Structure 1
Amino acid sequence: MKHTAFFLPTLHGGGAEKVVIALTNGFVERGISVDLILINIEGEYLNQINPEVNVIDLKQTRALNAVIPLVKYLKEFKPSVLISHMSRANLAAIIAKTCARVDTSLILVEHNTLSATQSKLFRAKLFPFFMQLLYPKAEKIIGVSQAASRDLEKSLSLKSGSITTIYNPVVDDALGLKAKQSLKHQWLATDSPPVFLTVGRLTEQKDFYTAINAFAMVRKKIPSRLMILGEGELRPQIEELIDTLDITQDVHMAGFVQNPYAYMSQAAAFILSSRWEGLGNVLIEAMACGTPVISTNCPHGPKEILEDGKYGPLVPVGDANALANAMQKVLETPIDRERLIERANYFSVQRAITQYLSVIGIN
């Protein structure tokens, strides 16, 4: 049986981190030896790792600093496959494998839309150049949506069709069980005003500003509330906007929560207001809970998940008026919960695990 290793920066609360947890746990459940290599062993998801996963802490703060420890790991343990996630970890993995001179197959997984990704950090602006230079050295590159894969091929001048698409492992029995867990919050009581929910890191990418401005418009017409789950560097600015709009009493910023599904299952509707996504795991999670969803038609995942609006409205990025109109219509239109759940089940953990195993040559 092949010895498989996964590599990523940390296990802080994010979509890519959830994917790796699902894959590593799923691999060991199928009897495969798995190492999970972290640049730094920290993050909210640490307690979700299967005890049979061998966690290795490189004890570094940056991906570049992790190259030498990763070279040592590869030389000592010589895994059959190294599956790296997220751009900065991917670049470090390529350099480390080249320096280690081992036969380990390297698979890179990209979780975002490269052409749309924005960062104010100077080193991040250099990523596309180094990705174009180094990514062809990997045995396989995986994108998390069809459009994101094609975008990456174009951005890195790779051959069309050279990147394999595997949708993220999102839905399993555990999600359904967590969605049914008791949640005592006065806003979610039966006779309370409808609650809109949004979940994600408080970053520019997720564009909570548009969601909040849209909610402020809806609230003027329909008594309602907004809950935001997640943490991030923009919390002060988001709180300032909420205060400026004078809606503090109807917006609750709960921070990071271990079980967002209990909130999703009781929300009147879920909002994804992102400027860009690779796929959009939270959209699938909300649908799996039977919750109506509204999303920006951002590049690229939501359009594929919702099949061009078949399973929920798609609105222009950054358009608070359009988002507000969609939010209001969702409240007024009955939704077929079972239809949403059926669509979400396509993005199952087991399907993704089987596809990953096929890519690395394990049936």
Structure 2
Amino acid sequence: MRIIFRISYMGFGGAEQVFLSVARTLMQEHDVLFVTDSAEGASYTTLLNENIPVRSLDVKRTFMSLLRFKRVIDAFKPDVILSAYPDTNAACLLSAAMARHQAKVVVSEHASIVEHFQHKSALTRLKVRLIVQCLYRLADQVVAVSEGVMNDIVPLIKRADKCCFIHNPVRFDQTAPAFDARSIHQTTDAQPSVIAQTDDDAGAVKKGGSKTILAVGRVTPQKDYMTLLRAVRYLIETQHQDDIQVMIVGGTHDKAEMARLTEYIERHQLQPYITFVGFSDQVERYYAQADLFVLSSAWEGFGNVIVEALAFGVPVVSTDCRSGPAEILQDGQFGRLVTVGDSTTLAMSMIDELDTPSCTRAARLERAAQFSEREISQRYKTLFEALV
């Protein structure tokens, strides 16, 4: 097969990582080509470094790419095109419709159409709704990253036969090198506090040191880190749990949200307990030394970070947000689920999960293996072969 991965920008988003994972596997037997709007982005460098074929259309906006991508389709003659995100999906479908070469087009949705766009402008919400309702019907298949995201799409396009879901692959496994606290100063833009060493079972409560609680994700309202901060305050002031260190790994995407969180930390004197690490390209090191992983999000498309935590054997507490966490944790079998925004229950669930993990470390690793790059790539390959 000849496969084009169409994405506007190769940043660090979920879709970019999924495309990279699938491409790495499929290019061993098939011809692949990434097509982007511009030769920019950290993951664009990854493509070059890994010798994955890529072509930039050199356009400033995705909808300016229609004719240029049409020419790429006619020249490369792909069997399948896989694209991601509403704007790019729409442009991809229009380019494919204009092309002489007829390729199968698979559009993928990596965020809840309902939740992700609820805080956007009315015009943006209308645009996305029209794209999904009108243009997604032209696709040969619509792939969602979770069953919840798929369930948002089906009522809009009214073609359940064209919709399916394939979960995101996990990037890491428990064989990653052990965390070296000294290296953190080389990989982050802030200096964290106490770093504890992991036990044989990542669910065990460490003795003689702080318990490391990890959260991973950019600082945005979506991640609802305020609920996590309130949970930490509750633990310290009410439960007298002052032997914790919370590490939040992720860049600051929303400066206003970061200012709000910082003000809360300072007002309640939580500085000794909370560290915003910032962006790190070695996040696996934080998973490797964590006692507990917490996802406090108001919504998700899937929740890759939960799977990544499971892949390191780390116990998990997550909000039961749409969409993904309940699917990954199988309704609490592999980690605790709490109501979105409920900081008190989140705090108590964190204590409970540290003291009595929901399942064994082996069970967490086994669950994560079901999201391996090989497993997920095979599902995409099976889909592509069925279409072709």
1:230 aligns with 2:231: no
Tell me, in whole angstroms, the C-alpha distance in 2 between the residues paired with 1:140 and 1:115: 20
**Counterpart position of 2:334:** 311
**Counterpart position of 1:287:** 310
1:182 aligns with 2:183: no
TM-score (structure 1 length as normaliser): 0.91
1:310 aligned partner, one-letter code: Q
Give 1:315 shift.
0.6
Identify which range, 297-306 or 242-251, moves more after superposition: 242-251
**Counterpart position of 1:43:** 41
**Counterpart position of 1:128:** 129
2:195 aligned partner, one-letter code: L
Superimposed CA distance per residue, residues 32-70 of structure 1 (whole angstroms, 9 cap, x where no aligned partner): 111111223333334443633111222334322333332
- CA 261–90 in structure 1, closer or farther in 2 if over 3 Å, else same: same
1:159 aligns with 2:159: yes
Give 1:162 shift.
3.1
- CA 75–229 in structure 1, closer or farther in 2 if over 3 Å, else same: same
1:338 aligned partner, one-letter code: A
**Counterpart position of 1:5:** 4
Give 1:351 shift.
1.0
- CA 97–270 in structure 1, closer or farther in 2 if over 3 Å, else same: same
- Aligned counterpart in structure 1 of residue 347 of structure 2, from 321, 324, 348: 324
**Which SS does the other structure have where 1:36 is aligned?**
strand
- CA 68–218 in structure 1, closer or farther in 2 if over 3 Å, else same: farther
2:330 aligned partner, one-letter code: E
Asked if the contact 1:219–1:225 (Cα under 8 Å) also holds between the matched residues in 2, the reply is no
**Counterpart position of 1:350:** 374
The within-5 A match list for 1:1-363 is 2-28=1-27, 30-49=28-47, 51-118=50-117, 119-125=119-125, 126-154=127-155, 156-171=156-171, 175-178=173-176, 180=178, 182-184=180-182, 187-190=194-197, 191-220=208-237, 221-223=240-242, 224-231=244-251, 232-233=253-254, 234-334=257-357, 336-361=360-385
Identify which range, 271-280 or 237-246, moves more after superposition: 237-246
- CA 17–212 in structure 1, closer or farther in 2 if over 3 Å, else same: farther
Identify which range, 342-351 or 325-334, moves more after superposition: 325-334
Asked if the contact 2:296–2:318 (Cα under 8 Å) also holds between the matched residues in 1, the reply is yes
**Which SS does the other structure have where 1:196 is aligned?**
strand
Give 1:181 shift.
5.1
Tell me, in whole angstroms, the C-alpha distance in 1 between the residues paired with 2:151 and 2:20: 26
2:373 aligned partner, one-letter code: V
- CA 40–236 in structure 1, closer or farther in 2 if over 3 Å, else same: farther
Give 1:264 shift.
1.1
Tell me, in whole angstroms, the C-alpha distance in 2 between the residues paired with 1:82 and 1:90: 10
Asked if the contact 1:14–1:201 (Cα under 8 Å) also holds between the matched residues in 2, the reply is no
Give 1:152 shift.
1.3
Asked if the contact 1:150–1:160 (Cα under 8 Å) also holds between the matched residues in 2, the reply is no
Unaligned runs of 5+ in 2: 185-192, 198-207
Tell me, in whole angstroms, the C-alpha distance in 1 between the residues paired with 2:19 and 2:180: 27
When the two structures are aligned, how many residues end up with a matched partner?
358
Asked if the contact 2:222–2:297 (Cα under 8 Å) also holds between the matched residues in 1, the reply is yes
Q: RMSD in angstroms over aligned alpha carbons?
A: 2.2
1:39 aligned partner, one-letter code: D
Give 1:79 shift.
1.8
